[in-house]
Structure 1
Amino acid sequence: MSNHALAERHRLAELLAAAGPDAPTLCAGWSTRDLAAHLVVRERRPDAAAGIRGGPLAGWTQRVQDSYAERPYEELIRLFRSGPPALSLFALPGADEAANTIEYYVHAEDVARAGDDPRPPRPVPAGRAEALWRRLSLPARLEAGRRSPVRLELCHPDGRSLAVGPAGPSTVRITGEPGELVLFAFGRGARTELEVDGPSDAVEALRHALPLPERP
């Protein structure tokens, strides 16, 4: 059985190690050191992980993450690469695959596509691309769908599609490989290879709410 989360974990660890602790990422305001600390806190400190998405515990989460960021960078990568500890929720059967396939794919691309000389999109194995597509619906609705001012149709190259966002007279169609659509849904659209089609006013309204591929 494929373990896509494990494969993406190892790739992300390799990218972090190669980039060094002070490289930029696509996570606003975070260096690679910050990202590595976030990854370790997320699966090893459940008391702090609850504030990752904001809320009353966000300050505590930030203090814990900052303390981890002060550790040696190589230690952070080692902890992340070794996987969740036995008592972590992510150590439950199937939890890592379900929760982290997209998480680690996005963060790997956060490292690979950042900076002035980003790496081009990599070919994603067919099985992993299918896993990303199957998991796209929820984050697309919770992330892109909530932020978009227009109806979105996220289109797989094989013709499958997913509609999210508010109903209205205009729809913007975003077409591309599943990994590129995942990155768009999480606000990384400026560094993706996607086709964007729709009425010009709807596309411009969307561009103000969510990053789209940079114009040629």
Structure 2
Amino acid sequence: MPDSGDAPRHARLRAGLAAALGAASPDDPTLCEGWEARHLAAHVLTRQRTPRINSPAFRDLADRAQDPEVYAGLVARVAAPPPRLSPHAWAGDLMNVTEFFVHAEDVRRGAGDVPSRPLDDDLVASLWRQLGVAGRLSYRRAAPGVLLVAPGVGRRRVSRPRRDAGTVVVTGEVGELVLHAFGRGRHAHVTVTGDAPDLVALDDVRPGPAR
């Protein structure tokens, strides 16, 4: 990730996402099903202006970005700060830290498995904090309870078991736990342990590494 000095955390992550997109070709695969790099770049840009995922502006940008020159310009716009009146301009870390981190990994891992990248302590702490809220939302439909374990960082129960279900333990570095919680578990470097029926039930909601 580029060194942005004392820039806010979300600005550093934006720079890292833009660098990942810039290193990719417009039609490179990503972890977002059906999206190539150009779709993801268009999503990041239009997200700053409208909450609609499949807006006409998004489709138009993604289509035009099949041209490498248009794509390069799109990536440059992703790298720039959002408009001053956009909520993303003042919400900063709250709206963007996890989003930018996950999407950078969507690009990095789109073509296959890659090693986890080292994260500084500040980013780890921020992702772990946000995972407390995001995890409860991500696993809310799971019948088994879910306990997230980040060795050297902490443990966080984000879901309690329903009915006669047990608890599944998901273990990994904080960034990998974030990827599992956000539906990228097939490509996350985590271990998922528990009784067989509970593992199957969780996999139906949040798939983990192929067993």
TM-score by shorter chain over 0.5: yes
Runs of 4+ in 1 over 6 A off after TM superposition: none
- Counterpart secondary structure, 1:193: coil
- Counterpart secondary structure, 1:26: coil
- Counterpart secondary structure, 2:72: helix
- Counterpart secondary structure, 1:136: helix
Report the Cα distance in structure 1 between the residues aligned to 2:207 and 2:11, rounded to whole angstroms.
29
Report the Cα distance in structure 2 between the residues aligned to 1:164 and 1:126, rounded to whole angstroms.
22
Match of 1:99 among 76, 95, 100: 95
Match of 1:26 among 17, 21, 31: 31
Report the Cα distance in structure 2 between the residues aligned to 1:91 and 1:105, rounded to whole angstroms.
17
Match of 1:80 among 78, 91, 94: 78
Q: Percent identity?
A: 38
Report the Cα distance in structure 1 between the residues aligned to 2:27 and 2:146, rounded to whole angstroms.
36
Match of 1:178 among 174, 190, 194: 174
117-126 or 191-200, which deviates more: 117-126
Report the TM-score when normalising by structure 1: 0.86
Match of 1:13 among 11, 18, 23: 18
- Mark the runs of 5 or more structure 1 residues left unpaired by the alignment: 53-60
- Counterpart secondary structure, 2:47: helix
Structure 1 contact 152–174 (Cα < 8 Å) conserved: yes
- Counterpart secondary structure, 2:210: coil
Match of 2:61 among 60, 68, 77: 68
161-170 or 105-114, which deviates more: 161-170
Structure 1 contact 150–166 (Cα < 8 Å) conserved: yes
- Counterpart secondary structure, 2:197: helix
The answer to whether residue 207 in structure 2 is matched with residue 202 in structure 1 is: no
Match of 2:161 among 167, 183, 208: 167
Match of 1:131 among 120, 126, 141: 126
Deviations 1:43-63 (A, max 9, x none): 1x2xx32x23xxxxxxxx432
Structure 1 contact 172–196 (Cα < 8 Å) conserved: yes
Report the Cα distance in structure 1 between the residues aligned to 2:206 and 2:86, rounded to whole angstroms.
34
The answer to whether residue 147 in structure 2 is matched with residue 153 in structure 1 is: yes
State the shift of 1:41 in Å. 0.3
Deviations 1:139-191 (A, max 9, x none): 11112x22322110111213622222353340001111111111000000111
The answer to whether residue 84 in structure 2 is matched with residue 90 in structure 1 is: no
The answer to whether residue 8 in structure 2 is matched with residue 3 in structure 1 is: yes
Distance 1:16 1:101, change over 3 A: same
Instruction: Report the aligned-residue RMSD.
Output: 1.7
Report the TM-score when normalising by structure 2: 0.88
- Mark the runs of 5 or more structure 2 residues left unpaired by the alignment: 1-5
